[in-house]
Structure 1
């Protein structure tokens, strides 16, 4: 009889553990739903494409990890170094091939600019530099974090079927079309999502939907974990380098032209 009680107790304990595990998993899933940005075009988007986009987000670390990532730094093809505060919209751009520094808030378009050691003070000239800084951020950040923006504002997402990449990897192919967003809303991107890893491993760029062939096709390689998210720096002949995900940066990083010293 005692042995029977032990067996029953162990069975109840196992059942409770299973329920607890299932509850924890469900809670984790509930916390990490890949909510679309306001303005994502659900009506025009294909359901298959949305499902694949959510798998990409999970493979990249998950929506929660992305939302909690604040500071990202990187060097864009050896030309300029960027530091971005995702929470505030503050961006710092230091050119590496000339003496030009841009400090801008991409939401308000307020900021500072300095060229050849001289700060730009004339209002219209400064406004031009700050507008240019936002355009640089739009371009350079998309080359780095595009996989997190598949369900972004103004995006329509389509499923084009299956195809292989240029190196022969079986992939799902999604197409991103845009409406009233960014500097070039007529652009189209096709992205190849690896069927095994659910990571984007290639993209093709079209200036407009009527363009029969892409302007370029570029691999997405060298994924690594930075903080709690995955980022890729390999772009074929070009590289995004010095990639960093930071928990904090000096206060003056977005207000002073002095060099920034920060640690991962």
Structure 2
């Protein structure tokens, strides 16, 4: 039986919290292709005076995994100090780019409607499991006015680990602490566009929802183990039904 939790008075007292929906960002909610490589090139030059020679694969990977690969691939010691310096520079670049960030890409079909519809469900908590750094995650969503319904404080971010499933653990623990109820695996939903997202969900026994708006087809996402696959998020009713069980 779901646990009853005390929510703010605007919800009318006790309700049943049944779903923790954790969204990926890049190529799930927004399309900003090419941005990561450009920003890493600028950051690497600023921090280490090194030219980015090879752009790693970004989709579905965490910032820590990407940073480690870049530093090692360019002969740099991946100390925590160097990693943090590079991340501070990335955040600074993102902050400077924020006023014009929307010009670099677009929100994907149905994203705003899906986020808004889920926000209207008292039993749903929405946050993130994303490879991005926390500040950059907020910038990418706010650039397209997609930040209103996301609880950024309980997200799992790419600074935490090179192993994406660790981000799910972190987000669920934060959500549990904030809401005073345990979000068991069958109450957690992971939404993303890559097999990495699907694998993170499967490792935790969570519902894996694939969205084929990235580099992977519907067939590839199903083959990777996704429980539900959408071409995009444009069918709001179907998306809400799948994510709320």
Interval containing the TM-score (normalised by the shorter chain): under 0.3
Higher relative contact order (CA 8 A, sep 6+): 2
Normalising by structure 2, we get a TM-score of 0.26
Between Structure 1 and Structure 2, the one with more strand by share is 1
Normalising by structure 1, we get a TM-score of 0.25
